[in-house]
């Protein structure tokens, strides 16, 4: 009879008839996270292949073993208890491979994301291991899948069959040795650090995930307090989560490095970053929209950044691309090129100009095209000299009988007529 080990502290408490051993979760640790948001943006392709059954693959030993929980024993119902991975995987074309499923778990965010290729299609809240028995980080895969599992107490050998009293819920997915992703009979524990190392999920969530993944699906487990994402509309948003395990101390330099990778570090002040680190509330902070910048078909080093409805462009990049000399007057905050002058901005030692001023400074104009900001050289604006109006002495009466002034630049009409007449003679 197959018996594995899994984390389930609540189940141990149920067996002893007391909840005194259940760890009380600090209310301060319960914070809203991005995992509470729905990301059900599309329906993934689910394989219609029948589930195969065979003996479970022997679990490999891992460095850290949970103390109180046990993995499921297959139920005796007439349902497939264990799904096995085919021995010889079928050859796949690269495009199909790029759309394969992957599970990504961030312990700091207490969230589980399901990716199809590079697109996140599901996001679920989870209950990972306690600080004393943390969920191990690393790269794993789904090794087995059980429906209606039976939980076995490793200390006593006593088992609880599938049902409302089973701490594993109604689904179990082994990821490595004694660790797995499973349901729970304590939904209030989700969002907290509560298990002995396993990943708990709400029952409806784990059943949905169970149907979407197959044996061999990669599972990546990380601990990242800083999460930066680029949304579909090019908006960059970032989150900072509490240090539940005490593993990752953060500084403004750390966060700036994360933001720099998305091209927005210059658009968030160090003071704002420090304030967000102190809060560590997991709430989203929307920074700006970022577009790769192209000038006459050449990609620039820095990006075009739209913040609060204004498009900012890296001035030195544009000057180099347009072969225009550029200077900076720090006192007046002005950019001075060989073509003109306009207001500039110094953002963490990087000079920016507004898109509306690029024609004046560089003879460049552009706009957003798809997901890029594309600029091209344009003809220099013709500068028309202002008309010099002669001052009028309002005290002097106007002589309406006086002949109008003759513009010497124009030909004399009478002379032209005389000349024409002379030519006909």
**Assigned token pair, 353:** 């100009």
Rounded to whole angstroms, how far apart are CA atoms 302 and 345? 15
State the DSSP H helix or E strand holding residue 287, giving kind and residue range, or none if neither.
Answer: strand 285-291
Q: Is 192 an active-site residue?
A: no
Q: Helix H segments across 6-155?
A: 9-16, 94-98
Phi-psi region of 333 (alpha: psi -120 to 50; beta: other; left: phi over 0): left
Integer distance in angstroms from the first to the last C-alpha of the chain? 128
Rounded to whole angstroms, how far apart are CA atoms 303 and 394? 58
CB 268 within 8 A of CB 287: yes
Rounded to whole angstroms, how far apart are CA atoms 46 and 307? 40
Marked catalytic residue, from 6, 182, 192, 202 = 182
Q: Is residue 9 packed enough to be buried (19+ CB in 10 Å), middle (13-18) or exposed (0-12)?
A: buried
Rounded to whole angstroms, how far apart are CA atoms 373 and 257? 24
Marked catalytic residue, from 6, 166, 192, 198 = 198
Please state the φ and ψ torsions of residue 353, each to the nearest 5 degrees: -125, 165
Q: Is residue 58 packed enough to be buried (19+ CB in 10 Å), middle (13-18) or exposed (0-12)?
A: exposed
Residues 6+ positions from 138 with CB-CB distance below 8 Å: 176, 221
Q: Is 323 an active-site residue?
A: no
CA 375, distance to chain mean position in Å, is: 26
8-state DSSP, 384: P
Rounded to whole angstroms, how far apart are CA atoms 152 and 384? 89
Question: Position of tokens 């032209």?
Answer: 416
Please state the φ and ψ torsions of residue 138, each to the nearest 5 degrees: 145, -170
Q: Which residues are catalytic?
A: 182, 198
């Amino acid at each position: 009879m197959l018996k594995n080990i899994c984390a389930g502290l609540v189940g141990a408490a149920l067996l002893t008839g007391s909840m005194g051993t259940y760890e009380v979760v600090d209310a301060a640790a319960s914070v809203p996270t991005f995992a509470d948001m729905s990301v059900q943006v599309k329906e993934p392709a689910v394989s219609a292949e029948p589930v195969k059954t065979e003996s479970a693959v022997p679990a490999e030993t891992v460095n850290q073993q949970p103390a109180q929980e046990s993995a499921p024993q297959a139920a005796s119902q007439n349902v497939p208890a264990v799904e096995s991975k085919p021995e010889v995987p079928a050859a796949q074309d690269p495009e199909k491979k790029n759309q394969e499923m992957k599970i990504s778990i961030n312990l700091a965010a207490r969230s589980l994301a399901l990716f199809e290729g590079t697109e996140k299609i599901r996001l679920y809240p989870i209950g990972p291991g306690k600080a004393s028995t943390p969920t191990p980080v690393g790269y794993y895969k789904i090794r087995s899948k059980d429906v209606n599992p039976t939980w076995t107490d490793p200390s006593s050998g006593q088992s609880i069959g599938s049902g409302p009293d089973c701490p594993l819920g109604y689904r179990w997915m082994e990821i490595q040795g004694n660790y797995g992703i499973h349901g729970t009979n304590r939904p209030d524990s989700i969002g907290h650090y509560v298990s002995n190392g396993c990943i708990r999920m709400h029952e409806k969530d784990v059943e949905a995930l169970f149907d979407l993944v197959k044996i061999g699906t990669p599972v990546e487990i990380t601990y990242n307090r800083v999460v930066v994402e680029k949304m579909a509309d090019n908006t960059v948003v970032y989150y900072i989560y509490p240090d539940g395990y005490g593993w990752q101390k953060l500084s403004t330099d750390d966060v700036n490095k994360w933001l720099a990778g998305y091209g927005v570090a210059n658009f968030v002040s160090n003071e704002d970053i420090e304030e967000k680190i102190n809060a560590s509330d997991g709430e989203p902070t929307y920074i700006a929209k970022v577009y790769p910048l192209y000038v006459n078909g050449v990609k620039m080093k820095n990006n075009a950044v739209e913040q609060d409805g204004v498009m900012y462009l890296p001035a030195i990049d544009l000057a180099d691309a347009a072969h225009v000399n550029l200077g900076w007057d720090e006192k007046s905050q002005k950019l001075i090129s060989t073509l003109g002058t306009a207001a500039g901005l110094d953002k963490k030692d990087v000079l920016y100009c507004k898109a509306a001023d690029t024609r004046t400074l560089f003879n460049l104009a552009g706009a957003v095209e798809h997901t890029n900001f594309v600029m091209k050289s344009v003809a220099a604006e013709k500068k028309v000299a202002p008309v010099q109006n002669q001052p009028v002495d309002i005290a002097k009466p106007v002589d309406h009988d006086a002949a109008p002034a003759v513009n010497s630049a124009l030909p004399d009409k009478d002379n032209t007529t005389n000349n024409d007449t002379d030519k006909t003679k």
